[in-house]
Amino acid sequence: MNWYAIRAIYHFEMARTFRTLLQSIASPVISTSLYFVVFGSAIGSRMIAIDGISYGAFIVPGLIMLMLLTESISNASFGIYMPKYSGTIYEVLSAPVSWLEIVIGYVGAAASKSIMLGLLILITARAFVPFSIEHPVWMLAFLILTSISFSLFGFIIGIWADGWEKLQIVPTLIVTPLAFLGGSFYSISMLPPAWQTVTLFNPVVYLISGFRWSFYGVADVSVGVSLTMISVFMLICVMLIRWMFLSGYKLKN
Amino acid sequence: MDAVIQIQNLTKTYSSGFRALNGINLDIRRGEIFALLGPNGAGKTTLISTICGIVSPSEGQVLADGHDVVTDYRAARSCIGLVPQELTSDAFESVGATLKFSRGLFGKAPDPAHLERTLKALSLWDKRNDRIMTLSGGMKRRVMIAKALAHEPSILFLDEPTAGVDVELRRDMWQMVRQLRDQGVTIILTTHYIEEAEEMADRIGVIRSGEIILVEDKNTLMRKLGRKQLTLQLQNPISAIPASLAQYSLILSEDGQQLTYSFDTQAEQSGIGELLRRLNAEGVDFRDLHTEESSLEEIFVSLVRKQA
């Protein structure tokens, strides 16, 4: 393993994050806080409890997950797309590094940033709504696994995209709707039976459900299924990235 | 002399079907400065990119210091530094940070002393904390070279290193390249400035349409393909070249006051003596004469035209 290279890429990416602190960290924290103010405190106080949990507390895991998905994809896709766009990718491609080392560097940095953001939002949310975390270790596990999985997914988008529009199209048109319809703001048991079945095809449902279970011990789908789904998704992403580097797809040709 | 880069039957066909390299065979000798010349689109950058790992080869093999650039890429790439043609750098990074990144990327432990030496050699030490975006074009070019040298490579590729830089900086760079060669670094450069190759290269390769059409020691090349011209300033203008001198293919200037005779430096007889005797016999007097040798640029143009 070329650890120096992994460290170099990781530091470079983290430096970029801290250089643009306002955009990287403050912006998602503020926008998620606004969700808590509007849905948690203002509207939430007039909503009935779901599964015995106050509405404000109920949406905390879903909102954190929503932010984790979008930020992980955005960080990782931008991280690899920028050097492609500016041409500095030549240095990474001509360096004695394997595809795995490149991925660990870029995706590791993107996921680190998402995890930091997730924890920051968790702390911020506590200022607006009271909640408890029943399984803190599992909560962290879900947070880390989701950040890594969707950073991997973002990395794929960053390699695939050959323009700014493409970079935005998947997060905007696919991921955000899936996250909103994946139970961020409601329990899928509140939907009519037919829509409940349709919802089960939405992979984000499993993430939010598992994450919410780690907070309150209640879930729409079993935790085992949630974990399996995240792991399978992560594995698919890793295999796809491996193929992209070995074949040179959108990188070397 | 042993070859530090060995290229065998290298072919690159892009997904569009365009064949950029067509069965390239080339050896670069250890410690030399090798200039790769060729017109735009000839395949110079593709060749360098393929050796450095930026472009995947379609066929053939490249060994860098004995290591296959595909199967043993770690060892091969560790000894190669690349200065690309485009000024591509992380605009928001500082000069010092980007060098540290480059060194780490190539698997080398941090070495502040080496980075300081490199920055000082390129007159960048004062700029080490400046963001790259604030530097001039020439300074950015130096940063690109410093990045390529950050991991102490033994082979350095310079893809048109002096494109767009002023004369003074170009001279500085030539000096630096010579110093690197003296330290044992093998230099492969592509350039549009033939003057650059003429000034610096030990050997010259010419590539055209993805094929190497010539590889030769620079001095031998200039001797072999170089032509000399004898120019005679006539005492009195003439209106036509005498028929008896037809075999010399002389060129008469428009004002009739200058005769030019081109001859091959490799020919056993230049024919100058006989030409002067015949001119004398024809009563054509001259008041001055001089000879000049063709430059590498003229040789290059004639080579590429000949192959077209």
Q: What pLDDT does B262 receive?
A: 82
The ipTM is: 0.86
Q: Where are the domains of chain B?
A: 3-223, 227-307
Which residues on A lie below 8 Å from B88 (Cβ)? 86-88, 90
The position carrying tokens 């000839």 is: B42
DSSP bridge pairs for B215: B205
Q: Chain B closest CA to A233's CA: distance in Å?
A: 29
Number of Cβ within 10 Å of residue B126's Cβ equals: 10
Alpha-helical segments (H) within chain B: 44-52, 73-78, 95-105, 112-121, 137-149, 167-182, 194-200, 218-225, 272-281, 296-307
Answer yes or no: is pLDDT of B194 > 80: no
Which residues contact residue B255 at a Cβ distance below 8 angstroms, ignoring those fewer than 6 apart? B237
Q: How confident is the model at residue A217 (pLDDT cuts 50, 70, 90)?
A: confident
What Rg value do the Cα atoms of chain B yield, rounded? 24
Which residues on A lie below 8 Å from B155 (Cβ)? none
Average pLDDT score over residue span A202-210: 88
* Cβ burial B51-79 (10 Å sphere, 16+ → b, else e): bbbbbebeebebbbbebebeeebeebbbb
Whether residue A12 lies inside any domain: the answer is yes
Q: Choose the closest CB to B101 out of A8, A94, A97.
A: A8
Percent of chain B having pLDDT more than 90?
Answer: 45
- CA dist A98 and B278 (Å) reads 73
Q: What pLDDT does B71 receive?
A: 93
Say if the Cβ atoms of A90 and B88 lie within 8 Å: yes
Whether residue A11 lies inside any domain: the answer is yes
Say if the Cβ atoms of A12 and B101 lie within 8 Å: yes
Closest residue of chain A to B52, computed from CA coordinates: A94
Average pLDDT score over residue span B114-136: 91
Calculate the average pLDDT of chain B.
Answer: 87
Q: Choose the closest CB to A96 out of B15, B77, B89.
A: B77
Which residues on B lie below 8 Å from A15 (Cβ)? 93, 97
B89 in helix, strand or coil?
coil
Q: Chain B closest CA to A120's CA: distance in Å?
A: 26
Q: How confident is the model at residue B306 (pLDDT cuts 50, 70, 90)?
A: low
The CATH code of domain B3-223 reads: 3.40.50.300
Beta-carbon pairs below 8 A across chains A and B: 85
Alpha-helical segments (H) within B1-111: 44-52, 73-78, 95-105
A239/B253: higher pLDDT: A239
Task: List, for residues B135-190, the tens digit of each pLDDT value.
Answer: 988 888 889 999 999 999 999 999 888 777 778 878 888 888 899 999 999 999 98
Say if the Cβ atoms of A91 and B53 lie within 8 Å: no
Q: What pLDDT does B49 receive?
A: 93
B65 in helix, strand or coil?
coil
Task: List, for residues A168-181, the tens digit of each pLDDT value.
Answer: 888 888 888 888 88
Say if the Cβ atoms of A93 and B106 lie within 8 Å: no
Q: Choose the closest CB to B88 out of A88, A93, A253.
A: A88
Give the structural domain span for A96: 3-247
Average pLDDT score over residue span A209-221: 88
Q: Is the dihedral of CA B89, B91, B95, B99 positive or negative?
A: negative
Whether residue A253 lies inside any domain: the answer is no
Structure tokens at B288: 């001055």
Task: Determine what percent of chain B falls in helix, strand and coil, rounding each to the nearest 5.
Answer: 35, 30, 35
- CA dist A176 and B126 (Å) reads 47
Whether residue A252 lies inside any domain: the answer is no
Which residues on A lie below 8 Å from B84 (Cβ)? 87, 90
How far are the Cα atoms of A85, B132, B135 from residue B93, in angstroms, in the given order?
16, 6, 11
Instruction: State the pairing for strand pair B155-159/B80-83.
Output: parallel
Domain count along chain A: 1
Q: Choose the closest CB to B104 out of A8, A19, A90.
A: A8
The closest of A100, A79, A97 to A243, measured between CA atoms, is A100
> What is the CATH class of B227-307?
alpha beta
Whether residue A78 lies inside any domain: the answer is yes
Which of A139-153, A220-234, B282-296 is modeled with the greatest confidence? A139-153
Task: List, for residues A58-96, the tens digit of each pLDDT value.
Answer: 888 988 998 899 999 999 999 999 999 988 999 999 999
